[in-house]
Amino acid sequence: MADPTLLVLPEDPKEAQRVFNSLPIKNQLDTVLRARGKERVHYLSLADHPEPLLQQLPELEVFLTVKEIGEKDCLELISLTTPEQFQYLLDLDFWKRDQLDLDKVLHWMEILLESGEKKVTQFIHATDPEFISLLMKKFVHVTILDGEHLEEMERIPFFTLDQFYFVDFRGWRAREVFEPFLRILYPIDGEGYRKLMESLVYEFGSELEETGYRLRNSRLNDYGFPDFEESLKIYHFVNPDSLATGKWTPRVSDLEEIKKESPTFYLIFQNEGPFLSSMLSKIDNSHEQDRLRQEITALCNKAIVAEAIDLSNIIGMERIIKKVYHTLNLGLQYLTREEESKALEILRSLPIQRLFQCGVSTTLVLKRKAEAILKGPWFSGDRENLVFLDPPHFEKFEGILKKRPALYQDGIYEDFKDIQDLREMESFLESIDTVVSFFGKELKVNPPKLKEMDLSGCYPERWEEITLSKIYLTSFANQVLKGVLQFETIEQAQVKDFLFQVFERDAQGKGVIKMEVRDGLKEWFHSVENDPNKNQYLFAFNDFCLDLLEEEFGKIPPEGEVDPRFLKGLLVRK
């Protein structure tokens, strides 16, 4: 994602290079940080001294640039990285959960060799010896031959540099990678070579991998990726209403802890939270800006770890970062009702993680409401009974019950992004609670009774295919046909009579519910429910069901036959 404020350079390459190098180093670095992918590499290529410029980039930014461009096209860039930056590349890309990705190991060792002997030497001197042992253990088998066993040498096609340790490479690709690596290692660090061979002879692969994974996590922890348990704290519940009524004191920025620029990758997504982004843009104190950037970076790191995202999965990382901004946006809106002065006060005072927890907790409050409805008298605590909800109501209810509550809309589950999403879900839950209470009280139906019904010879034949709309419309049909509002099957021969009584034809000849029928149902709801809010939910459900009836049966001409096998609005007995 390119930054619209990027430096515009002359088209002439030499003039562009002159202009770029005339900038102070800080401005050059800012320009490089704001760019992405090929644009970033282009700016680096303009620098008279690209190495110190590149080495000031946060490790994550180097990793993202390499991934966006491709390792093979970034060999020059990789060759200029610091040992720490290069180790970071490996730490993020080598692992699938707690297991080494062997294809990635071979791939990156090829990249290391192609970056030149100087880079290989730097790697050998900088990395832990145990890390090299770990990389090689899966690809080589080392045998020691000495004394009376030396006569066996001619019969062993192994590779050796010292006639003592003999290396059998497991596959041609392993040999292509690790033989030249060993040929560089041996003359520059003979003792290190000997220790490596001893390790490969005597160390267990599982122990090396366990140690390597622990050391990798320790290194990532230094870059702000805490362990899993620590990261999960961002999802701890806090009382949103207590925070909303709290008083805050402006915090002091602790800048001495900031050793490097924050990764800009996390910051380019802040427009995902429009209100939050607007308020952040109004913070003009540089110390506060730095503190907020650091806290947002730390929060994004924790979220990535908590969601167990593979750190080489950039698309997955982007999704989680967007979720962070959605949740922060929701939390800030909830606490301030979009009052700017209060929002600025909170951003200057409340830790960003606390604001995130507030956003999370507003959705957890909704989840508790959904669980209370599920445990109520109609659903009786049985999640199987949610199948009686019509789509998309079923999917919406299931979404809010997820471990991380989600909003179902347009066929997919999404994050709660703002206060409107929250209010709409609150209204949805209240409507479901109102409707199922109505079903129990007025229609005298509940899941146990529905599951006991004899549906042989009916459409549908399985109780799992009965929904609230089908119950309501079938009960309504019985009211029209028999004068009794009750849920029992209607005969197939009666369907056309029912449709005739409730439908009229519009200009296109489609059957639509008569207005007097809709008005009559609303009057009846007024008579059975006095609460105006609940009335509105019942009206909305009634309209939902009648719209389904029109959709299912309105296209059938008056003289047409009704085949209940292909229509789902009513419970019909053949």
Q: How buried is residue 151: exposed, middle or buried, by Cβ count under 10 Å (0-12/13-18/19+)?
A: exposed
Instruction: Please tell me the predicted confidence (pLDDT) of residue 258.
Output: 43
Do the Cβ atoms of 128 and 153 come closer than 8 Å?
A: no
Contacts of residue 90, Cβ cutoff 8 Å, sequence gap at least 6:
108
Q: Give the model confidence (pLDDT) of 521-560 as tens digits.
A: 999 999 988 899 999 999 999 999 999 999 989 888 888 7
Quick one: which of 567, 574, 569, 553 has its CA closest to 496?
553
Determine which of 245-249, 495-499, 527-531 has the lowest per-residue pLDDT on average.
245-249
Contacts of residue 184, Cβ cutoff 8 Å, sequence gap at least 6:
117, 120, 121, 124
Q: Give the model confidence (pLDDT) of 364-399 as tens digits.
A: 999 999 999 999 999 999 999 999 999 999 999 999
Q: Above pLDDT 90, what percent of the chain?
A: 75
Instruction: Please tell me the predicted confidence (pLDDT) of residue 1.
Output: 34
> In this structure, what token pair is assigned to residue 73?
């096209």
Quick one: which of 381, 412, 383 has its CA closest to 399?
412
Q: Give the model confidence (pLDDT) of 434-481 as tens digits.
A: 999 999 999 999 999 999 999 999 999 999 999 999 999 999 999 999
Instruction: Please tell me the predicted confidence (pLDDT) of residue 251.
Output: 61
Q: Which residue's structure tokens are 């606490």?
A: 335
What phi and psi, each to the nearest 5 degrees, are found at residue 411?
80, 5
Q: Give the model confidence (pLDDT) of 178-193 as tens digits.
A: 999 999 999 999 999 9
Our CA dihedral for 198, 199, 205, 209, rounded to 10 degrees, sits at -170
Do the Cβ atoms of 31 and 42 come closer than 8 Å?
A: no
Q: How buried is residue 14: exposed, middle or buried, by Cβ count under 10 Å (0-12/13-18/19+)?
A: exposed
Terminal C-alpha separation, the chain:
61
Contacts of residue 243, Cβ cutoff 8 Å, sequence gap at least 6:
335, 350, 354, 358
Q: Give the model confidence (pLDDT) of 7-46 as tens digits.
A: 788 889 899 999 999 999 999 999 999 898 899 999 999 9
Q: How many residues does the chain have?
A: 574
What average pLDDT does the segment 239-268 reach? 68
The CA distance from 269 to 275, in Å, is 13
The SS3 assignment for 143 reads: strand
The CA distance from 143 to 21, in Å, is 55
**Residue type at position 398:** E
Question: Does residue 3 or residue 76 have the better pLDDT?
Answer: 76
What residue spans define the domains of the chain?
1-70, 94-222, 231-357, 361-443, 453-573
Instruction: Please tell me the predicted confidence (pLDDT) of residue 257.
Output: 47
Peptide bond connecting 392 to the previous residue in cis, omega within 30 degrees of 0: yes
Q: Is the pLDDT of residue 303 over 50?
A: yes
Quick one: which of 179, 237, 169, 574 has its CA closest to 405?
237
The CA distance from 458 to 491, in Å, is 9
Q: How buried is residue 420: exposed, middle or buried, by Cβ count under 10 Å (0-12/13-18/19+)?
A: exposed
Do the Cβ atoms of 36 and 44 come closer than 8 Å?
A: no
Q: How confident is the model at residue 261 (pLDDT cuts 50, 70, 90)?
A: low
The CA distance from 336 to 348, in Å, is 13
CA distances from 132 to 80, 236, 396 (A): 21, 39, 50
Question: Helix 59-69 vs helix 83-93: angle between axes, to the nearest 10 degrees?
Answer: 60
**Residue type at position 13:** P
Q: How confident is the model at residue 146 (pLDDT cuts 50, 70, 90)?
A: low
Burial letters for 43-61: b for 16+ Cβ neighbours within 10 Å, e otherwise?
bbebbeebeebbebbbbbb
The CA distance from 521 to 543, in Å, is 10
Q: How are beta strands 572-573 and 165-169 bridged, if at all? A: unpaired
Q: How are beta strands 490-491 and 572-573 bridged, if at all? A: parallel
What average pLDDT does the segment 230-254 reach? 79
Q: Which residue's structure tokens are 């605590």?
A: 381
**Residue type at position 281:** S
Q: How confident is the model at residue 561 (pLDDT cuts 50, 70, 90)?
A: confident
Q: Beta strands of 360-438 (E only): which ranges?
A: 407-409, 412-414
> In this structure, what token pair is assigned to residue 111?
């990249």
Q: How confident is the model at residue 232 (pLDDT cuts 50, 70, 90)?
A: very high
The SS3 assignment for 101 reads: coil
Do the Cβ atoms of 319 and 264 come closer than 8 Å?
A: no
Q: How confident is the model at residue 95 (pLDDT cuts 50, 70, 90)?
A: confident
The CA distance from 238 to 74, in Å, is 45
Determine which of 101-110, 307-316, 534-543 has the lowest per-residue pLDDT on average.
307-316
